[in-house]
Copies of this chain bind each other. A is one copy, B any other.
Amino acid sequence: MGANSRLTIAAHALAWMGLNERMGGEVATSEQIANSVNTNPVVIRRLLGELREAGLVESRRGAGAGWRLRRAPESISLAEVYRAVEGGPLFALHAAAPNQRCPVGHGIRAALTPVYEDAEAALRAQLGRTSVADVLGESLSAP
């Protein structure tokens, strides 16, 4: 699959913001986060913008501006982060509609849709068992 690192970068950014907060930092700039992630600040701003739409973070503009968590790291699950940064479905149905005159082609989409929904639900449920605070804690305790 076209695996991407969007969830990884988003989780990294949120964990960094959680640590920054714990160290007394008021706001985090995209440049600071990008320095930890090792990427370009614009990449961080784009991703954090999606997290802001989901209500997970907020931003301030102007001088001394930056980003802040809107909720406690313990209350932000990776399932919410996943939903914020991965819009579409995990599995696509046929690009072109299958042959409706074939019994299989006629019913296959209706057969697969609930299967895919259940599979995605299982994925999200498992992601929901880990919070940003968990990710931060595990990161800090790594050898």
Contacts and interface: CB of A to CB of B under 8 A. Distances in A.
Contacts of A86: 1
A97 interface: yes
B16 A104 contact: yes
Interface in A1-38: 1-5, 7-9, 11-12, 15-16, 19, 35-38
Contacts of A108: 8, 11-12, 15, 135, 139
Contact of A122 (B19, B35, B39, B123): B123
Interface stretch (A44-52, A55-63, A88-96): A88-96
A126 interface: yes
Number of identical monomers bound together in the oligomeric complex = 2
A104 B3 contact: no
A38 B98 contact: yes
A53 interface: no
Contacts of A105: 12, 36-38
A127 B141 CA distance: 34
A90 B3 contact: yes
A74 to B, nearest CB: 15
A91 B121 CA distance: 16
Nearest to A3: B92
A78 interface: yes
B3 A91 contact: yes
